[in-house]
Amino acid sequence: MITRQLTVKDKKLFNEFNKTILDSITNSEWFIPFSPDDDQVLMPDHDLFLGQFDGEKLVGISGLILTETFYGEIRDVLGLQGKKIAEVGGSMVLPGYRGKNIMLGLNKMLVQIAKEKGYEHLVATVHPDNVASRTSAETLGFVKKDCILRKGKFLRNVYQMDL
């Protein structure tokens, strides 16, 4: 398997992957979907997504969300105004590839990238019942700080990592 940064050329692949996840997810409350019309996803100078590939097949993704409109409410809950922060999120793995530490591996790389780019804090949100994502976040060193309704309707534990 190989890992590489997704680019705007991967937009169709990204959208197909997102739809596959939505169609296969057992608890729709666990995932806040990306809109296929979201022009910021995969655009240079916005968010950075890594993809895990098995040959040509995209089997996992995770992103370093740099766009303030996505992480702003988390920043405010944690009192991190004025700090250089990013969110680790959009983590998805195809059902047949779960349990192979793909999400953990991608997120380790994203933490390293954030450190190299000089970020002070990383944040992440996870549905309280999503054991795999909670375990991944906690294994990486994220600490649970709060629980909120994200975007007013998605229950999420809020995690923070100081870099």
- How does pLDDT run along the chain (163 residues), one tens digit per residue? 999 999 888 888 988 998 888 888 777 677 666 665 555 566 556 789 999 999 999 999 999 988 777 778 889 889 999 999 999 988 999 999 999 999 999 999 999 999 999 999 999 999 999 988 999 999 999 999 999 988 778 899 999 999 9
- Please state, as a whole number, how many other Cβ atoms lie within 10 Å of the Cβ of residue 14: 23
* CATH number of the domain residue 119 falls in: 3.40.630.30
Whole-number pLDDT of residue 80: 92
Q: Give 29-33 contacts, CB < 8 A, sequence gap 24+.
A: 29/127, 29/154, 29/155, 30/127, 30/129, 30/130, 30/133, 31/92, 32/150, 32/151, 32/154
Q: Total structural domains in the chain? A: 1
| Strand, coil or helix: 68 | helix
What residue numbers bound the domain in which 91 lies? 2-162
